[in-house]
A = this chain, B = another copy of it.
Amino acid sequence: MGKRKKILLSESDMPTHWYNINADLPAAGIQLPPPLHPGTGQPIGPADLSPLFPMALILQEVSQDRYIEIPDEVQDVYRIWRPSPLIRAYEWEKALGTPAKIYYKYEGGSPSGSHKPNTAVPQAYYNMKEGVKRLSTETGAGQWGSALSFACQMFGLECKVYMVKVSYEQKPYRKVMMQTWGAQVVPSPSPDTNAGRAILAQNPDSTGSLGIAISEAVEDAVMREDTKYALGSVLNHVLLHQTVIGQEAIKQLEIAGADWPDVVVACTGGGSNFGGIAFPFVRENVTGGKQTRIVAVEPSAAPSLTRGIYAYDYGDTAKMAPMVKMHTLGHDFVPAPIHAGGLRYHGMSAQVSALKEAGLIEAVNVQQGAIFQAALSFTKAEGILPAPEPSHAIWGAMQEALKCKESGESKTIVFNMCGHGHFDLGAYEAYMANSLPDFDYPEEAIQRSLQALPTVG
């Protein structure tokens, strides 16, 4: 037998608890500022959130418990694809000519092809347990909508997905995938909500936006007694659920006999796959005396951590979501139409933002041309075809590996490969035909967008 490439855990090694970083933020000198009501500007309480979320998730959102048990029924569904593999990228190391040791955690084996079901499944479960019959949500490129459709099907819930119209038309197969799991999918703006009807009255040809779709999904949940809303990133409880990724990775590195990682890299949009792999390593830095560098890679077209400011802002364009203290480009900021649709968000998770502000994580931004170049370098060596989102992490890992080549150091690099690119081949085609534009923002544009920030906090 040759060298050990893939480290698999058995079902019995699957984490039984999620890790809640809120419990360790005080030790890092961080006091997480409370979310504020979008109307009153006052701290929100559970009652404000109960039209949208089941109580179990609201309690997780504000919990200070370090570990929260994963229900058996959720573990049963996780087992369809979890534990996920950790893979040593031997061939890519060779291709890059680096002495670094590169490991990646591969989340593309889930039914919908990304890390999103890690939170969709518990969200559907807790709603089911509290008697909710139906969930509403929005989706852009379709990863989150697919994950929630799958999760709802597993627990017998109906699911309505408001899909940004331009994506609905460009990515019909994502829509069909959601339908195979029984979801109702409509293009947003839709005639099904007041918010949608208002937009259509103004502009019947509107191609929609994530902001509009959120407004529709939230209205749907608020207006119907049997329905609640689900969000795929940003919120504390979402990042909490994703920590199975980092917990598994730590066990797998131990099994592989690897050194404790020098660098952990992940892409960031709202922060969920980043938090998922990074938080357990942040814990070890804060409470275990470790010194892993933790690097967030974001697109130049949505550079909240690298070019935004740390301030209270609305979570959505329509100002219906709570105000959160976070790195933001302003809630009116519409990221350019890059292919990494999952990273096109004006803000950032409050937890990830606070860690950045405290200097516990680093961040860097990159253009999409560079990430597709990195993705092709990776897939030609390793075989697995990445989605554009994790290709940001691949690019980040590649920079670290090339620094090692320069210095001769054989550092251990771990990155999160959060989804496959089977639904993104149009983007690869455009890249290979040299027709993929880069996007950048002059400083004035960002400053202009930041003028719309609320004056609170």
Contact = CB atoms under 8 A, between A and B. Distances in A.
Interface of A: 1-12, 16, 72-73, 75-77, 79-81, 83, 87, 90-91, 109, 111, 113, 150, 153-154, 172-173, 176-177, 179-182, 376, 379-380, 382-385, 422-423, 425-426, 428-429, 432
A65 to B, nearest CB: 20
Contacts of A11: 1, 4-8
11 contacts: A1-B12, A1-B16, A4-B79, A6-B11, A6-B81, A111-B384, A173-B422, A176-B429, A177-B385, A179-B428, A180-B385
Contact of A385 (B6, B12, B79, B111): B111
Contact of A77 (B75, B180, B383): B383
A5 B79 contact: yes
A101 to B, nearest CB: 16
Given A2-B72, A11-B5, A173 B79 contact: no
A383 B80 contact: yes
B109 A379 contact: no
Nearest to A113: B422
Contact of A154 (B3, B176, B383): B383
Contacts of A76: 2-3, 5, 90
A7 B83 CA distance: 11
* Candidate in A72, A113, A376, A379 with the most chain B CB atoms within 10 angstroms: A379
Contacts of A422: 113, 173, 177, 422-423
A457 to B, nearest CB: 41
A81 B177 CA distance: 23
A76 B173 CA distance: 34
Given A8-B8, A109-B109, A176-B428, 9 more contacts: A2-B76, A6-B81, A8-B83, A91-B154, A111-B383, A111-B385, A154-B383, A177-B428, A422-B422
Given A80-B87, A383-B77, A422-B423, A180 B111 contact: no
Nearest to A384: B111
A429 B8 contact: no
Nearest to A380: B153
A427 to B, nearest CB: 9
A72 to B, nearest CB: 4
Contact of A1 (B1, B72, B77): B72
Nearest to A16: B1
Given A2-B75, A75-B1, A109-B109, A379 B8 contact: no
Contacts of A179: 428-429, 432
A154 to B, nearest CB: 6
* Nearest 7 Cβ contacts at the A-B interface: A173-B425, A5-B79, A111-B383, A176-B425, A2-B72, A422-B422, A2-B76
A149 to B, nearest CB: 10
Contacts of A182: 380
A145 to B, nearest CB: 14
Given A16-B1, A182-B380, A80 B6 contact: yes
Contacts of A73: 2
Contacts of A81: 6
Contacts of A154: 91, 383
Contacts of A177: 385, 422, 425, 428
Given A11-B8, A109-B109, A385-B111, A376 B79 contact: no
B1 A379 contact: no
Contacts of A75: 1-2
Nearest to A82: B6
Nearest to A5: B79
Contacts of A4: 11, 79
Contacts of A2: 72-73, 75-76, 79
Nearest to A150: B383
A373 to B, nearest CB: 12
A254 B422 CA distance: 34
A412 to B, nearest CB: 19
A335 to B, nearest CB: 25
Nearest to A255: B10
A254 to B, nearest CB: 14
